[in-house]
Amino acid sequence: MDFTFLWETFLKLLSGVPLTLNLALVSTAFGALLAVLLTLMRLSSWRPVGWVAQFYVFVFRGTPLLVQMFVIYYGLGQFRPTLQAWGLWVFFREPYWCAIFALSLNTAAYGSEILRGGLQAVPHREVEAARASGMWGFLLYRRIVFPIAIRQALPAYGSEIILMVKATSLASVITMLEVTGLAAKLISQSYRAVEVFVVAGLIYLVLNFAITRLIALIEWWLSPHLRPAPTVSSGAALHHA
Amino acid sequence: MQGPSFLDLVGFGPEGWGAALLMATGMTLAVATGGFAAGSVIGAGVAGAKLSRSRALRAFGDGYTTVLRGIPDLLVIYLFYFGGSAALGVVGQLFGADGFIGMPAFLTGVLAIGVVSGAYQAEVFRGAFNTISRGELEAARAVGMRTGLRLRRIIVPQVLRYAIPGLGNTWQLVLKESALISVTGLVELLRQSQIAAGSTRRPFDFYITAAVLYLVITAVSSYLFRQAEARALRGVRRA
Per-residue pLDDT of A217-232, as tens digits, reads: 998 888 888 787 777 6
Residues of B in contact with A205 (CB under 8 A): 66-67, 70-71
Give the minimum alpha-carbon distance from B151 to chain A in angstroms, rounded to a whole number.
33
CA distances from B13 to B18, B141, B193 (A): 8, 64, 17
Q: What is the CATH number of the domain that holds A97?
A: 1.10.3720.10
**Interface contact B110, partner A, CB < 8 A:** no
User: Nearest-CA neighbor of A121 among A158, A161, A151, A160?
Assistant: A151
Q: How far is CA A21 from the centre of its chain?
A: 11
Residue B239 lies in a domain: no
In the Cβ-directed half-sphere of B173, how many Cα atoms lie within 13 Å?
21
Rounded Cα gap, residues B75 and A140, in angstroms: 46
Give the minimum alpha-carbon distance from A66 to chain B in angstroms, rounded to a whole number.
7
Could you give the number of structural domains in chain B?
1
Helix (H, G, I), strand (E, B) or coil at B72: coil
Q: How many DSSP H helices and E strands does chain B contain?
A: 11, 0
Residue B1 lies in a domain: no
Residue B238 lies in a domain: no
Give the minimum alpha-carbon distance from A144 to chain B in angstroms, rounded to a whole number.
30
ipTM of the complex: 0.89
- Burial class of residue B90, CB neighbours in 10 A (0-12, 13-18, 19+): exposed
Who among A63, A166, A187 is closest to B214 (CB)?
A: A63
Q: What is the CATH number of the domain that holds B40?
A: 1.10.3720.10
User: Nearest-CA neighbor of A204 among B152, B11, B78, B22?
Assistant: B78
Rounded Cα gap, residues B193 and B196, in angstroms: 5
User: Nearest-CA neighbor of B195 among B211, B208, B180, B206?
Assistant: B206
- Inspect the interface and report whether the beta carbons of A71 and B218 lie closer than 8 Å: no
Rounded Cα gap, residues B237 and B233, in angstroms: 8
**What residue in B sits closest to A210 (Cα-Cα)?**
B70
User: Is A119:A43 a contact under the CB 8 Å cutoff?
Assistant: yes
Rounded Cα gap, residues A195 and A198, in angstroms: 5
User: Nearest-CA neighbor of A67 among B197, B159, B126?
Assistant: B197
**Interface contact B219, partner A, CB < 8 A:** yes
Q: What is the pLDDT of residue B46?
A: 96
- Inspect the interface and report whether the beta carbons of A180 and B72 lie closer than 8 Å: yes
pLDDT band at A2 (very low <50, low <70, confident <90, very high): confident
Phi/psi of residue A231, each to 5°? -115, 170
Could you give the number of structural domains in chain A?
1
* Stretch 125-184 of chain A: residues touching chain B, C-beta under 8 Å: 162, 166-170, 172-173, 180, 183-184
Residues of A in contact with B79 (CB under 8 A): 193-194, 197
A58-108 pLDDT, tens digit each: 999 999 999 999 999 999 989 989 998 998 898 899 999 999 999 999 999
Q: Which domain holds residue A141?
A: 3-240
Q: Which domain holds residue B123?
A: 6-232
**pLDDT (mean) for B48-71:** 94
**pLDDT (mean) for B127-153:** 91
CA distances from B141 to A125, A184, B37, B150, B162 (A): 48, 52, 30, 8, 22
Q: Would the pLDDT of B69 be above 80?
A: yes
Q: Would the pLDDT of A124 be above 70?
A: yes
Residue B210 lies in a domain: yes
User: Nearest-CA neighbor of B166 among B228, B113, B211?
Assistant: B228
Could you write out the three-class secondary structure of B125-150? HHHHHCCCCHHHHHHHHHCCCCHHHH
Q: What is the pLDDT of residue A228?
A: 79
- Inspect the interface and report whether the beta carbons of B180 and A170 lie closer than 8 Å: yes
- Inspect the interface and report whether the beta carbons of A62 and B215 lie closer than 8 Å: yes
User: Is A99:A174 a contact under the CB 8 Å cutoff?
Assistant: yes
Q: What is the pLDDT of residue B239?
A: 57
Rounded Cα gap, residues A171 and A98, in angstroms: 9
Who among B71, B180, B207 is closest to A74 (CB)?
A: B207
